Chain A
Amino acid sequence: MDRQYNDLTVRVSLYMVVTFFHGIFHEESGYMIKTDVVIIGGGATGCGIARDLALRGVHHYLVEKGDFANGATGACHGLLHSGARYAVTDPEAARECISENAILRRIARKCVETTGGLFVRLPGDSKRYRDTFLNNCEEAGISTEVLSASRAIDLVPELNPSIEEAVVVPDCSIDPFRLCMLNAFTSRHKGGGILIHHKVIDIVKERGRCTGVKVLDRFTSQIKEIRAKIVINAAGAWGDTLARMGGSDAPMTLSKGSLIISNHRLTNMVINRLRAPSDGDIIVPNEAVCLAGTTSIPVDDPDAIEVDPREVDLVATQAEQMLPRFGTTRLIRAYTGVRPLLKAETSDSRSISRGFRIIDHKNGMFSILGGKLSTYRLMAEKTVDAVVKEFGIKAHCKTADIPLDGQDELSGYPLSKRLKSIDNIVCECELVDRAQVENAINSLGIQYIGDIQHRTRLGMGPCQGGFCTYRALGIMQETGRLTPDESIEILKQFLQRRFRGIRPALWGDQLREEQLVESIYLGILNMGQQA
């Protein structure tokens, strides 16, 4: 066992065969795994906790029911906040953001694109708000620079020419999926166990204390048991469900937010509206596309959410006011995620604090609630502080000082750097070639098409996998990873999911392309008739 581990470490099962880079854990048969801490949830928070525990030498397992970033993390806007957005409404969150923003730029270079951000003031937007904004940013330690309209337009030519002025802040664009993967990488590297596609179906309890979890392996349908001294509930919007399984509860307010993606990168900087936070007032560039959002609508069930076409219209109309081309550009997809917010009395979900809270359920379970992607590291730090205190050991947090491992193997931004061989392009939109797909399949043991997409960006571009998914699946069945029938079945599921994503934004050129995709799958391949 790794010498770095202190004597608390309980030996992990001997049956462990191999943990791949991406953490698909292979073992011979169902049995019991023992560890110190089990983390539920492979979003930014859970992965951040895994890394923090690893750097402090505490043995742990992380279980995630889908792929990394399956929840809010993967559905978010990808904005590494400077804190300016919260400067007026939530000064404490603003301070947390700017300090974490600086840390992440340092430790997560390959996940963060230092775009900078603009807050633009349109005719009619309050000048008083702008003054408070500048003042509060200064108090929170967020640097600002006020630009005239013409200088702002020099920076972002697509800006609405009638803006009054703009304020530069250190906002960044962040890749949430990569962030999770790299945090998990450190954990794996130090001997932690990462089980993705493993769903917690029950919490093991002994005399009222949580002593482990039962997980269902979604590949093999096997049930496994992981015993631990402490269970950390980082299940985001599903946190209350898991807390209840453990015999307690974790009250939260769930708020749905929807986003739309344009097929062009219309801006190289993050664009915010300089006014009180409202629907559709942020646009974030992300690789070849832009994300605009969001809405904020209270929901009850995190599994029953859908984008309403009216949300799409709302966000598009707002985004258009800042970048007029948003009104004419093709929208390639709409999607929605659920914010796990702290429970509050107010009914307006936008005014609820974006702060976080750690609950010690006093039964061996800790829940980490609320927060945001930008502060995931701080949330992890505070959670692990509570855990090591419980264990009675002294180990300080190192996550702010050590850069994320595994970044060297990743290509960075921008897109063009990924282009290696033109001949064997599988995905034309995102320039993913056959070698990358084969590599993902062979060396990483990836089974789900979604997993390949996350790791290679296959199918994330304008065609949204309409053309390349068929190709990727064909390659997968040729390599023997899937039978031909399985791969067709996965293709069907993929098309169904993809359609759900683009349906709310179907008009204009996107509708045109959708009809083309339909003609291919339902016409040329006749997949509708066989269903």
Chain B
Amino acid sequence: MSAYEYDAVVIGGGVSGIMASLTLASGGFKTALISRGDPVCCLSTGCIDVFSHSDEPLGGIRALLPDHPYSLVGEKGIVDALCFFLEIMDEAGLPYEGDPGRNRKILTPIGSTKNTCLVPQTMAHADMSPGEYLHVISFQGIKDFFPSYITSRHRNSTYSVYDAGVPTTLGIAARFDDASFLDAFITWLRGLEIPHDRVALPAVLGTIDPASVMEKISQAIGRKIFEIPTLPPSIPGLRLFRAMKRVMQKRGIHLYWGKDVTSVERQGRTVEAVTLATTGRAKRVQGRVFVLATGSFVSGGLFAGRESVRESVFDLPVTVPGERKDWFNTDFFSGGHGIERAGVRVDRAFRPVESMIDNLFACGSILAECEIMSLQCGHGLAIATGVAAAKSCAQELS
């Protein structure tokens, strides 16, 4: 078995694990990140929800109970972490906009609006004032995007359909990376002579540099343009993930991607190493501190059995909200299901409580009490707790 040695080893390559490793790397620590697969970020809108349940995110957070992970980070910590995220995205060439203290609106594929906090530049113009005219562009055969849902809800709106030659969002986005396709699209769009104030299209404006694509179109037709995030597979989610991954590589973080942590080596109250399942021989990754960021049920960080919930890497104690019959309310739309509170409970330093391990920290959606669905705080909580847990690690290391 071959061994590798790091200051910090982060397990889980979601938004929280990535932010934790970037924070550690900026502190000069030799960092590795292990991830079984791509994170749920790739399915998301790409927008950073901080606390979308209320209009004013920080106000909502102040009202949370003390055991909510946000309360453990504190307001200043949250704002600093979000600013750090904005810097990272500038560096990655996928600039984000927004103010941590204020929510803004984006448009959904069914024509409703949704609160969120930080958005990629291509969604910055989605926050329309009432009465503004909107023209929606759709694509021939595209799945899961029906422009009439939007036009029926906005009095002053119309739509047209472009044939991109492929029906999938991924396929169309790849076409937009190509300059000649973009030119043909712009020529067609000009021909429509759209009188409206703004033009919206499903989020397919290229896979790499959507801001430039948008700028080019916008200049050519003299209208403000914005993207509407689609159902998975979601291009803005994918862009966000890929951009963050680029920065990690640039910062020299060692990535073990597509690798599953299968066992853990402990010595007393210390984790010494984890073992990865690989196709060849097993790999042993050694670290001085470990960060657990394996996500919630969707990513497999937590697993629900018939009676109880388990944490899958360290078998940490997990807070479970009652019996199985109490995990879900009867109303699908009510939110606030008990199961949203399941997870790993941590102390102020983001150490899992009652774990009997001193050099382990946890962050992201695996944490107990976070209620991501009902509070609508997914990526925001991942960023804030990822940075906060990494800062505790840094303290431990120095």
| Residues of A that sit less than 8 Å from B by CB | 309, 313, 316, 423-424, 467, 470-471, 474, 477-478, 483-485, 488, 492, 495-496, 498-500, 503, 506-508, 511-512, 515-516, 518-531
Contact B149 A518 (CB under 8 A): no
Choice from B148, B167, B328 contacting A478 with Cβ under 8 Å = B148
Tell me the residues in window 304-346 of chain B with beta carbons closer than 8 Å to chain A beta carbons: 304-306, 324-325, 327-328, 330-335, 339
Q: Of all chain A residues, which has the CB nearest B143? A: A471
Report whether over half of chain B's contact residues are helix, strand or loop; otherwise say mixed: loop
Q: Collect the chain B residues with CB atoms within 8 Å of residue A515's CB.
A: 296-298, 373
Contact B152 A508 (CB under 8 A): no
Contact A512 B148 (CB under 8 A): no
Question: How many Å from the CB of B296 to the closest CB on chain A?
Answer: 7
Choice from B110, B304, B332, B333 contacting A511 with Cβ under 8 Å = B304
Contact B111 A511 (CB under 8 A): no
Q: Collect the chain A residues with CB atoms within 8 Å of residue B6's CB.
A: none
Choice from B108, B111, B333, B335 contacting A524 with Cβ under 8 Å = B108
Per the bound structure, the CA–CA distance linking A520 and B331 in Å amounts to 16
Q: Collect the chain B residues with CB atoms within 8 Å of residue A477's CB.
A: 146, 148-149
Q: Collect the chain B residues with CB atoms within 8 Å of residue A511's CB.
A: 297, 304, 327, 339
Contact A474 B146 (CB under 8 A): yes
**Are A530 and B112 also in contact (CB < 8 A) when A471-B143, A496-B332, A522-B333 are?**
yes
**Are A483 and B144 also in contact (CB < 8 A) when A511-B339, A526-B114 are?**
no
Q: Collect the chain A residues with CB atoms within 8 Å of residue B332's CB.
A: 495-496, 498-499, 518, 521
Q: Of all chain A residues, which has the CB nearest B229? A: A524
Per the bound structure, the CA–CA distance linking A309 and B324 in Å amounts to 8
Q: Collect the chain A residues with CB atoms within 8 Å of residue B40's CB.
A: 519
Q: A484-B152, A508-B303, A524-B231 are in contact. List 16 more A-B contacts (CB 8 A).
A: A309-B325, A488-B110, A488-B149, A492-B333, A495-B333, A498-B332, A506-B324, A506-B328, A507-B304, A507-B324, A512-B298, A519-B43, A522-B333, A526-B114, A527-B110, A530-B112
Contact B141 A424 (CB under 8 A): yes
Q: Collect the chain B residues with CB atoms within 8 Å of residue A531's CB.
A: 333
Q: Collect the chain A residues with CB atoms within 8 Å of residue B305's CB.
A: 507-508
Q: Collect the chain A residues with CB atoms within 8 Å of residue B328's CB.
A: 499, 503, 506
B359 at the interface (CB under 8 A from A): no
Tell me the residues in window 152-201 of chain B with beta carbons closer than 8 Å to chain A beta carbons: 152-153, 167
Contact A525 B112 (CB under 8 A): yes
Contact B373 A519 (CB under 8 A): yes
Q: Collect the chain B residues with CB atoms within 8 Å of residue A523's CB.
A: 44-45, 373, 376, 378
Question: How many Å from the CB of A429 to the closest CB on chain B?
Answer: 15
Q: Of all chain A residues, which has the CB nearest B150? A: A484
Q: What are the interface flags for B288-306 relative to A under an 8 Å C-beta threshold, 1 for contact and 0 otherwise?
A: 0000000011101001111
Contact A520 B149 (CB under 8 A): no
B109 at the interface (CB under 8 A from A): yes
Question: How many Å from the CB of A305 to the closest CB on chain B?
Answer: 14
Per the bound structure, the CA–CA distance linking A498 and B296 in Å amounts to 23
Among B149, B297, B328, B333, find the residue whose CB has the most chain A CB atoms closer than 10 A.
B333
Question: How many Å from the CB of A369 to the closest CB on chain B?
Answer: 33
B77 at the interface (CB under 8 A from A): no
B232 at the interface (CB under 8 A from A): yes
Contact A525 B108 (CB under 8 A): yes
Question: How many Å from the CB of A505 to the closest CB on chain B?
Answer: 9
Q: Of all chain B residues, which has the CB nearest A511? A: B304
Q: Collect the chain A residues with CB atoms within 8 Å of residue B324's CB.
A: 309, 506-507
Q: Of all chain B residues, which has the CB nearest A516? A: B298
Q: List 10 A-B contacts (CB under 8 A).
A: A478-B148, A484-B152, A485-B152, A488-B149, A495-B333, A496-B332, A496-B333, A507-B306, A525-B110, A526-B114
Question: How many Å from the CB of A70 to the closest CB on chain B?
Answer: 22
**Are A484 and B333 also in contact (CB < 8 A) when A474-B144, A477-B148, A516-B43 are?**
no
Q: Collect the chain A residues with CB atoms within 8 Å of residue B110's CB.
A: 488, 525, 527
Q: Collect the chain B residues with CB atoms within 8 Å of residue A496's CB.
A: 331-333
Choice from B141, B146, B325, B335 contacting A522 with Cβ under 8 Å = B335
Contact B297 A423 (CB under 8 A): no
Question: How many Å from the CB of B65 to the closest CB on chain A?
Answer: 21
Q: Of all chain A residues, which has the CB nearest B47? A: A524
**Are A528 and B108 also in contact (CB < 8 A) when A474-B146, A477-B148, A478-B148 are?**
no
Question: How many Å from the CB of A157 to the closest CB on chain B?
Answer: 25
Q: Of all chain A residues, which has the CB nearest B109? A: A525
Per the bound structure, the CA–CA distance linking A478 and B327 in Å amounts to 37
Choice from A483, A520, A529 contacting B152 with Cβ under 8 Å = A483
Per the bound structure, the CA–CA distance linking A478 and B138 in Å amounts to 13
Per the bound structure, the CA–CA distance linking A521 and B110 in Å amounts to 10
Q: Collect the chain A residues with CB atoms within 8 Å of residue B234's CB.
A: 524
Question: How many Å from the CB of A99 to the closest CB on chain B?
Answer: 42
Q: Collect the chain B residues with CB atoms within 8 Å of residue A485's CB.
A: 152
Per the bound structure, the CA–CA distance linking A498 and B110 in Å amounts to 20
Q: Collect the chain B residues with CB atoms within 8 Å of residue A424's CB.
A: 141
Q: What are the interface flags for B125-146 relative to A under an 8 Å C-beta threshold, 1 for contact and 0 otherwise?
A: 0000000000000000101101
Q: Collect the chain B residues with CB atoms within 8 Å of residue A507's CB.
A: 304-306, 324
Q: Collect the chain A residues with CB atoms within 8 Å of residue B232's CB.
A: 520
Per the bound structure, the CA–CA distance linking A423 and B167 in Å amounts to 9
Contact B45 A484 (CB under 8 A): no
Choice from B43, B44, B231, B331 contacting A470 with Cβ under 8 Å = B231
Choice from A467, A478, A527, A528 contacting B146 with Cβ under 8 Å = A478
Per the bound structure, the CA–CA distance linking A423 and B296 in Å amounts to 33
Per the bound structure, the CA–CA distance linking A506 and B109 in Å amounts to 28
Among B112, B232, B324, B376, find the residue whose CB has the most chain A CB atoms closer than 10 A.
B324
Q: Collect the chain A residues with CB atoms within 8 Å of residue B373's CB.
A: 515, 518-519, 522-523
Question: How many Å from the CB of B122 to the closest CB on chain A?
Answer: 16
Q: Collect the chain A residues with CB atoms within 8 Å of residue B304's CB.
A: 506-508, 511-512
Per the bound structure, the CA–CA distance linking A526 and B148 in Å amounts to 17
Q: Collect the chain A residues with CB atoms within 8 Å of residue B376's CB.
A: 523
Per the bound structure, the CA–CA distance linking A520 and B333 in Å amounts to 12
Q: Collect the chain A residues with CB atoms within 8 Å of residue B153's CB.
A: 484
Q: Collect the chain A residues with CB atoms within 8 Å of residue B114's CB.
A: 524, 526, 529
Among A313, A498, A518, A524, find the residue whose CB has the most chain B CB atoms closer than 10 A.
A524
Question: How many Å from the CB of A120 to the closest CB on chain B?
Answer: 24
Q: Of all chain A residues, which has the CB nearest B153? A: A484
